[in-house]
Amino acid sequence: MHFWSINFSIIYIAALFSISYFFIRKAVHSYEEYNLCGRSLTFAYIIMTYLGTWVGGGSIIGLVGLSYLSGLSNYWVLSIPYLIGFPFAFLFITRIRKLRQYSIGDMMALRFPKYHEAVRIPTAIAILIRNVTVIGMQFSAISFLVVYVFGIDRKLAILLIFITITCYTALSGLWGIVGTDILQGVMQAAGLILLFVQSLKLSGGWTRASQYFESIDHTEYLYLLDSTNWWSQMGIYVLTIGLFFLIGDQGDWQKLNSCKSDKVAFWGYLTPLCAAMLWLLIPAYVGIFQRVTIPRDVSSELATFQMITQMFSPYLGAFVIVCLLAAVTSSADSFLLASGLTFSRDIVKGFLNPDASDRELIFWNRFFVLIAGGMGFTFAISILNVINLWITGLVLSTSILLIPYLFAWFSKRMNTEGVLTGMAAGGFSSLLWMLLGSPFGMHPIWVGIGINLICSFGVSLVTQKPLGEEVEQTYYWSPNFKGVKNIP
């Protein structure tokens, strides 16, 4: 298997760089082509790139591990964001496209423009925290596979992953990501199906799994929802992990604005959203079947890899390993590029060089793809628990950005002074609360959001009201959105 894994990996990586090189002609001269594909993506392209991004290797490996440890109900930890994607789609997609901006920071600066659009800075910080922790999650997840299969040092494994993904992402921008996601989406689907089928076969099937969990007195592991407190369970997930996804993320904004029409953007978002929720059932059930097959004393991070390397045929095992690698790269590349856009648009264009040319902005975009990858590399070698890393980034970014984002759409009274104060207070308080170990059992996200809300309102009430033309830029019921339908 070692021989075939190496050869399949080399072929796969060569294919990534070949596809990226093919698309470089489209992206090298135009900032809009590099980041938004010239706003020309069709339905097929947008579906494949979303599927590639949303079901990444970190999600697959992390969910298999959680399910292996404590049952199917962990499915909701990673699927709740997709449930929240439905209200995001119906509320915001067509209005986001009407704004025709590049970034979330662009929208925030339209609504809160005072102090030379200083709101771009905390907005960029929130988005970058979210992105680099997801990147770190993906790097860390696949590093366990590389270490287990190839027997190399984990830090070296993460370094090799970082170099590969950042280089091909920086090369040709969103065109390269969309092109490679077609290949990676097909490989991801094939690998997940094969992993499920083989896990089911090796475990002896559902009947054998049921008997096993009865024997260890943990039949609740077989239920997607705990029958005794599932409302509470779902509510906690929605009100913690899920809240950020009311904003969408920078990658979503980027892809929505890259579509050729509102209809392509809306249905091209909803279709893979439904598919992603179904796909995530597979790693949840794989974890259950692995628990039956693999002894309990095996680390949950390594159970999948032990089964693949020891119980699959060499050809099949090598192919599934490369498919998992494809799942990681297809997710990490989108977050890398979104980080580059955030830096080039909100920091370089917003503050450092407002007159920067397209070539300069593409340079800075590429530069920060490498920086974001390096930050993800640092997180990956420092933190082993990939799900905790992901949740930490979500908590901090939500505490900073959720409240001002909603104010930008729905408040006429909120002003720049209020949101800047709230963003600083929310981010600092949630971080402090996490460092203190969440006293009184209160989740840090509630501390951050609550203090953000209180400080924003308090400061806005004692400072000047925003100008009417500022409010109308993004206000949900503004005349600017007259005739815009939520469902195109």
Q: How do residues 51-75 score in pLDDT, each as one tens digit?
A: 877 876 667 877 888 898 888 988 8
User: What's the confidence (pLDDT) of residue 2?
Assistant: 61
User: What's the confidence (pLDDT) of residue 224?
Assistant: 87
DSSP character at residue 102: S
Round to whole Å and give the CA distance between 152 and 281: 31
The answer to whether the CB of 323 falls within 8 A of the CB of 315 is no
Q: What is the mean pLDDT of the chain?
A: 88
The answer to whether the CB of 232 falls within 8 A of the CB of 72 is no
Distance, first Cα to last Cα, the chain:
50
pLDDT at 139 over 90: no
Q: DSSP string covering 452-469, please?
A: HHHHHHHHHHTSPPPPHH
In 3D, which of 160, 120, 126, 166 has the Cα closest to residue 143? Answer: 160
Top-ranked range on mean pLDDT: pick from 5-19, 241-255, 379-393, 448-462: 448-462
Q: CA angle 300-303-306, nearest 5°? A: 155
The mean per-residue pLDDT over the stretch 123-147 comes to 85
Residue whose tokens read 């949900």:
476
Alpha helices in 204-229 (DSSP H): 205-215
Round to whole Å and give the CA distance between 199 and 249: 34
Could you tell me the two tokens for 225? 């929802």
The answer to whether the CB of 53 falls within 8 A of the CB of 338 is no
Round to whole Å and give the CA distance between 186 and 10: 18
Sorted by sequence, the CB contacts under 8 Å of residue 267 that are 6+ apart come out as 43
Each residue of 65-113: pLDDT tens digit?
Answer: 889 888 898 888 888 888 899 999 999 999 999 999 999 999 999 999 9
Domain assignments of the chain as residue spans, ordered by start: 2-384
Sorted by sequence, the CB contacts under 8 Å of residue 448 that are 6+ apart come out as 395, 396, 398, 399, 400, 426, 427, 429, 430, 433
Strand partners, 259: 41
SS (HEC) of 385-444: CHHHHHHHHHHHHHHHHHHHHHHHHHCCCCCHHHHHHHHHHHHHHHHHHHHCCCHHHCCH
Strand partners, 41: 259
Each residue of 351-410: pLDDT tens digit?
Answer: 999 999 999 999 999 999 999 999 988 888 877 666 677 788 889 999 999 999 999 999
Burial of residue 351 (number of CB atoms within 10 Å: 0-12, 13-18, 19+): middle
Domain 2-384 class in CATH? mainly alpha
The answer to whether the CB of 33 falls within 8 A of the CB of 311 is no
φ, ψ (nearest 5 deg) of residue 259: -75, 155
pLDDT at 261 over 60: yes
The answer to whether the CB of 426 falls within 8 A of the CB of 403 is yes
The mean per-residue pLDDT over the stretch 148-160 comes to 79
Round to whole Å and give the CA distance between 253 and 242: 17
User: What's the confidence (pLDDT) of residue 332?
Assistant: 85
Task: Give the three-state DSSP class for 285.
Answer: helix
Round to whole Å and give the CA distance between 366 and 373: 11
The mean per-residue pLDDT over the stretch 447-463 comes to 96
Between 212 and 314, residue with greater pLDDT: 212
User: What's the confidence (pLDDT) of residue 144?
Assistant: 73
The radius of gyration computed from the CA coordinates of the chain, to the nearest angstrom, equals 22
Could you tell me the two tokens for 259? 């579509």
pLDDT at 274 over 60: yes
The answer to whether the CB of 105 falls within 8 A of the CB of 342 is yes
pLDDT at 227 over 70: no
Round to whole Å and give the CA distance between 281 and 79: 9
Round to whole Å and give the CA distance between 365 and 254: 13
Round to whole Å and give the CA distance between 445 and 172: 36
Between 443 and 340, residue with greater pLDDT: 340
Task: Give the three-state DSSP class for 259.
Answer: strand
CA torsion angle for 126, 132, 137, 141 (degrees, to 10)? 170
